[in-house]
């Protein structure tokens, strides 16, 4: 840690899931003092150098372990339930200088619209309590959580809206599908056009940037996704292919045919959206403000290499059945149908 960076007392709500370990590890390496607050069920003892406080954010008194304590910064990583933020703010208001809330680009309204920046209108906030609170959409809940943080902490609030977060520890497999499939080689179903937009951010780039943000006491609202400029799905897939010396060959199938075949974007063709779909903004978010605030991006090859090393360390059952991506059998069916259609046109 450089002598110009003041050591901070950092409270992490969560800390042992996906983003948390990357953030905690980096913050410790920078000389900060860490306290983790969670239920103590996921990876207990992962960070012996960090203080551990136990609490269940679903319980009415779940934040009691935080009472009477002060910190310079709090990172709220997992909160999607507005009541969690209400309860945390009741204990921490006036006790921390900066509250960093990890939201999502799903907070934006009219998500089929391209290129949202931080001024783009957001969803209607979800109710905090009542029969509709639990059933509210993810993005609406995130908006309410953002508002609660801003109301409680004012100029000390930092709202970060990531897009698709990827890298070691990502159990959604939404990005991992592609290097896993490309590693197997052979003919690969590729969606749409090479220039169709794609975006993602390595969890380590996100975590490390957020730590640097609190070191400089940077507040405000920031989108957080990469790369620096929107790239095409072709650039992504060929970039992954360059990591492997095998016989992978892409067959690019237009979205009109994928629609006929009922192939689902994101679920079966991750990191890609149909034109006009409600996931388009996931692929076209503007990140100029975050880049000016110091957000950097590691090479795609590094994300692929490290993510695949983690993937191969997972239990065999998890490796065999990914949570996202088209199945090999279904892929063969769609490719066969596409080739048959091409033959008919000759």
What are the sequence ranges of the domains in the chain?
9-162, 177-200+230-279+299-336
Asked whether residue 120 carries a pLDDT value surpassing 90, the answer given is yes
Q: How many CB atoms lie within 10 A of CB 143?
A: 24
Q: Which of 179-183, 201-205, 229-233 has the lowest mean pLDDT?
A: 229-233
pLDDT in tens, 217-272: 999 999 999 998 879 999 999 999 999 999 999 999 999 999 999 999 999 999 99
Asked whether residue 346 carries a pLDDT value surpassing 70, the answer given is no
Q: What average pLDDT does range 113-137 have in this prediction? A: 92
Q: If one looks up domain 9-162 in CATH, what number appears?
A: 3.40.50.720
Give the neighbor-by-neighbor strand order of the sheet with 71-76: 51-54, 33-38, 9-13, 71-76, 96-102, 157-162, 220-224
76 Ramachandran zone, left/alpha/beta (phi>0; psi -120 to 50): beta
CA 15 to CA 43: how far, in whole Å? Answer: 10
177-200+230-279+299-336: CATH topology is UDP-galactose 4-epimerase; domain 1 (3.90.25)
Asked whether residue 150 carries a pLDDT value surpassing 80, the answer given is yes
Residue holding tokens 């799903």? 106
Backbone angles phi, psi at 250, to 5 degrees: -90, 135
For the chain, percent of residues with pLDDT exceeding 90: 90
Same fold, 9-162 and 177-200+230-279+299-336: no
């Amino acid at each position: 840690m450089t002598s110009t960076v003041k050591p901070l007392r950092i409270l992490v709500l969560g800390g042992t899931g996906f983003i948390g370990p990357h953030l905690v590890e980096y913050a410790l390496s920078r000389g900060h003092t860490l306290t983790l607050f969670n239920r103590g069920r996921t990876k207990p003892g992962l960070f012996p150098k960090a203080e551990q406080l136990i609490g269940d954010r679903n319980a009415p008194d779940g934040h009691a372990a935080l009472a009477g304590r002060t910190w310079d910064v709090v990172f709220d990583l997992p909160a999607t339930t507005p009541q969690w933020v209400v309860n945390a703010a009741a204990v921490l208001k006036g006790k921390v200088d900066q509250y960093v809330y990890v939201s999502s680009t799903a907070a934006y309204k009219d998500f089929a619209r391209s290129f949202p920046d931080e001024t783009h209108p957001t969803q209607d906030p979800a109710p905090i309590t009542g029969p509709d609170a639990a059933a509210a959409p993810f993005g609406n809940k995130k908006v309410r959580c953002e508002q609660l943080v801003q109301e409680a902490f004012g100029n000390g609030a930092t709202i970060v809206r990531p897009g698709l977060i990827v890298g070691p520890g990502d159990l959604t497999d939404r990005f991992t599908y592609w290097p896993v499939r490309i590693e197997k080689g052979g003919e690969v179903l590729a969606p749409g056009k090479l220039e169709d937009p794609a975006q993602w951010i390595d969890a380590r780039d996100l975590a490390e940037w957020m730590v640097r943000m609190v070191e400089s006491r940077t507040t405000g609202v920031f989108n957080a996704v990469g790369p620096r400029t929107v790239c095409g799905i072709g650039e992504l897939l060929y970039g992954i292919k360059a990591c492997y010396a095998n016989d992978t060959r892409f067959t690019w199938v237009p979205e009109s045919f994928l629609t006929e075949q009922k192939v689902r974007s994101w679920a079966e063709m991750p990191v890609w959206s149909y034109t006009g779909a409600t996931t388009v903004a996931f692929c076209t978010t503007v990140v100029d403000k975050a880049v000016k605030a110091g957000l950097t991006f590691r090479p795609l090859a590094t994300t692929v290499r490290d993510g695949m090393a983690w993937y191969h360390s997972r239990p065999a059952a998890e490796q065999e059945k990914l949570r996202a991506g088209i199945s090999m059998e279904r892929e063969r069916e769609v490719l066969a149908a596409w080739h048959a259609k091409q033959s008919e046109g000759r």
